[in-house]
Amino acid sequence: MIVTVSRQYGALSLSVSRRVAERLGYRLVDEQLPVVAAWRLGTSADVVETVSERPRRFGERVLDQLGGGVPEAVQPPDSDDFPVETRHAIEAAVREEAAAGDAVIVGRAAGAVLRGRPDLLRVYVHAPLAWRAARVAQSLAIDEAAARAEIARIDEARRTYARDGYRAGSGDIANYDLVIDTSRFGVDGAADIIVAAVRAAST
């Protein structure tokens, strides 16, 4: 079974995913995805991470829409990332991990990439903004205003990545099999729900 976990920033999705993987004996696939994609592209994992964690520039959207066949005048500068190529490398890494079976894959629009697999459970982890801001502020040792700004930046980047790459709305419940509020159930409770769903779907 493959579990994909999409999330709002600050909703403790990685902690939940780690518990799920431990309880099911599955592989946790998170930080290795940018590493594998970077190896395919001959770049750094930081570059790959940046593509899915920031809003895209105008030139990048034009390049994507035209499939790369754009006049030199509208191409992004040499220093820009190439999100289309990077996204394809991430997709290849996601499919490679899924092909190995029994995994919890965090982020990277994996639910959209793997859509249609019969052994797929797509999970969305969320929580109210105030709850997330309090945890981000504590984790990063910043004030709540800065935490809210960081949440807005990363959540918008993830929405843009899902929308532009897959025409999918991040957080749109139609794209998920299970939607969980960690402020209500906590990390352990959320993990319990996901594990129960995996076992039910596997029978």
Phi/psi for 16 (5° steps) reads -65, -45
Q: Which of 1-36 are b and which e, b meaning 16 or more Cβ less than 10 Å from the residue's Cβ?
A: bbbbbbbbbbbbbbbbbbbbbeebebebbbeebbeb
The domain locations on the chain are 2-202
pLDDT of 93 reads: 84
Q: Give the rounded percent of residues in the chain with a pLDDT score beyond 90.
A: 47
The CATH superfamily holding the domain 2-202 is P-loop containing nucleotide triphosphate hydrolases (3.40.50.300)
Residue 5 bridge partners (DSSP): 106, 123
CA separation for the pair 94, 77 (Å, rounded): 28
pLDDT of 158 reads: 79
CA separation for the pair 112, 58 (Å, rounded): 24
pLDDT of 119 reads: 94
Average pLDDT rounded to a whole number, residues 82-87: 67
Helices (H), the chain: 13-24, 32-41, 45-52, 58-65, 83-99, 110-113, 129-140, 144-166, 182-202
Nearest to 104 by CA among 203, 6, 177, 12: 6
Q: Which has more confidence, 130 or 175? A: 130
What does the angle CA 179 – CA 180 – CA 181 come to, to the nearest 5 degrees?
135
CA distances from 178 to 4, 6, 45, 103, 167 (A): 10, 10, 30, 17, 20
Q: Is the pLDDT of residue 48 over 90?
A: no
CA distances from 90 to 51, 68, 77, 108, 191 (A): 10, 18, 22, 7, 26
Average pLDDT rounded to a whole number, residues 8-14: 92
Nearest to 58 by CA among 70, 45, 47: 70
Q: How confident is the model at residue 33 (pLDDT cuts 50, 70, 90)?
A: low
